[in-house]
Amino acid sequence: MNKASQFSDEPTRVAHLMKHFLSGQSGSILSSDDQPEIRLTIGADQKDDCAVYEMRAPVALVVGSDYVRGPKFMLYELGLLSNFDLGYYVVAANVSDVAAMGAMPIGILTVVRYPNDLDDDGFHELMAGIHQAATDFGTLNVGGDIGQAERIILSATALGICEVGKVLTRRGAHEGDLLCVTGSCGILGAAVAYFPKQDEKGWKLESSLERALLQSWQKPQARVAEGQLLASKPFATSCQDTSDGLKATIEQIGEASHVGFEVFEDSVPLDPAVEAVAELMGVEPLALAMSASADFHLTFTIPQVDSEVCREAFDSMSLNFHIIGRATSHDQGIRSIGPDGAERSLPGVAWKHQKNDISTLVTDVSPKS
């Protein structure tokens, strides 16, 4: 027998269902010992018009906003993602943008609107996902907007701080710099290509791979430690997160930095789940790894001379990255270099915001010849 659903009004939800997520945050010191003091003097627990930070600077404040489709995620519509997962995702997506600038997150503001048929348990799950993600990324949900709408609407703003002059941008890559990525990409896109077509196509991957595909959407990790490491050292010349897909990210860094790139096909890390889905789809694994996928890895460039010291710095923090290419002159464009030295355009389909559905993009990838 199901427990009867409760539908409390907004003041009750704020007062009772969210209170334990927010209490005690005002007064928190958010910076570490060696940084200028950042104190959250008014947090969400104070229920004022805004959150307030006191900053003993100078400091670079980094701030970005992302809406996420949330309830329109195909895997949510299929019942494979929970409200908790949506809450987690909206935070990860926003913190990722701050991480890509090399900043330390100091807070997130979340817009959570929900329909009348989202009961108290569903609402609590959503807020719990937000809280868990904020906690995992070492930050706080300091406010935002809660209220009613005709469906779940999720958006957020992440704030971070960085030492002045050390913010990582997309525009500093030079010819000869090495192109790097913090991990294998494309798994979120692969999940969207796999699950909705599974029944129609009779696809059945082994359960460990299915779990990996699903987990990619459940707790996507913003690369906060990697971003901060890159900002703290002098070697990264550009950085961007891969939330538009790896190919699109490489193109955008190239455009912003006015360089081209050659990508060494053999060096691009491939996730086994991406390889398995690519095989089912009859497409090249590299193409799927490059295509639209809301991964939150970091793509960055470093001068070749710094590659060893960068590797040592990553190793010392048990972090990893892969060198997957090299910056060239801008007029050479973005090229893919095969193991035999053969050149071609970089495969994969970049995320086009204009289209609504990752799966249509991924299936645009041309079949293996």
The bridge status of strand 334-337 relative to strand 141-148 is unpaired
> Which tokens is 325 given?
């290419």
What is the contact mask toward a second copy in residues 167 to 206, using x (rule: CB under 8 A)?
x-xxx-----------------------------------
Under the binding rule (CB under 8 A), the answer on residue 144 touching a second copy is yes
Task: Using the minimum distance from each CB to a second copy, give the nearer residue, 242 or 336.
Answer: 242
Dihedral, 236, 328, 222, 123 alpha carbons, nearest 10 = 140
Task: Using the minimum distance from each CB to a second copy, give the nearer residue, 165 or 339.
Answer: 165
Task: Using the minimum distance from each CB to a second copy, give the nearer residue, 43 or 260.
Answer: 43
- Which window, 130-138, 139-147, 270-278, 299-307, contacts a second copy (CB under 8 A)? 139-147
Exactly one of 90, 100, 152, 290 binds a second copy (CB under 8 A); which one?
100
Beta carbon of residue 365, minimum distance to a second copy (angstroms, whole number): 19
- Which window, 75-83, 108-116, 125-133, 289-297, contacts a second copy (CB under 8 A)? 108-116
* Amino acid letter, residue 78: L
- For residue 160, with 0-12 CB atoms within 10 Å meaning exposed, 13-18 middle and 19 or more buried, which class applies? buried
Confirm if 203 and 194 have CB atoms less than 8 A apart: yes
Exactly one of 214, 256, 280, 319 binds a second copy (CB under 8 A); which one?
256
Residue 48: CB atoms within 10 A of its CB come to 12
Under the binding rule (CB under 8 A), the answer on residue 41 touching a second copy is yes
Under the binding rule (CB under 8 A), the answer on residue 103 touching a second copy is yes
Task: Using the minimum distance from each CB to a second copy, give the nearer residue, 13 or 326.
Answer: 13
Taking the C-alpha atoms of residue 201 and residue 283, their distance in angstroms, rounded to an integer, is 15
Confirm if 72 and 357 have CB atoms less than 8 A apart: no
Number of residues lying near a second copy (CB under 8 A):
70
Confirm if 235 and 309 have CB atoms less than 8 A apart: yes
Taking the C-alpha atoms of residue 363 and residue 64, their distance in angstroms, rounded to an integer, is 31
3-state secondary structure 115-133: CCCCCHHHHHHHHHHHHHH
Under the binding rule (CB under 8 A), the answer on residue 155 touching a second copy is yes
H/E segment holding residue 316: helix 307-316
Exactly one of 125, 210, 241, 251 binds a second copy (CB under 8 A); which one?
241
Task: Using the minimum distance from each CB to a second copy, give the nearer residue, 113 or 219.
Answer: 113
H/E segment holding residue 215: helix 207-218
Under the binding rule (CB under 8 A), the answer on residue 122 touching a second copy is no
Between the alpha carbon of residue 151 and those of residues 66, 113, 146, 163, 329, the distances in Å are 18, 7, 13, 40, 48
Exactly one of 28, 35, 55, 303 binds a second copy (CB under 8 A); which one?
55
Under the binding rule (CB under 8 A), the answer on residue 62 touching a second copy is yes
Exactly one of 19, 20, 24, 67 binds a second copy (CB under 8 A); which one?
67
Binding positions for a second copy, rule: CB under 8 A: 9-11, 36, 41-42, 46-67, 69, 72, 97-98, 100-101, 103, 107, 109-111, 113, 142-150, 153, 155-160, 162, 164, 167, 169-171, 240-241, 256, 352-356
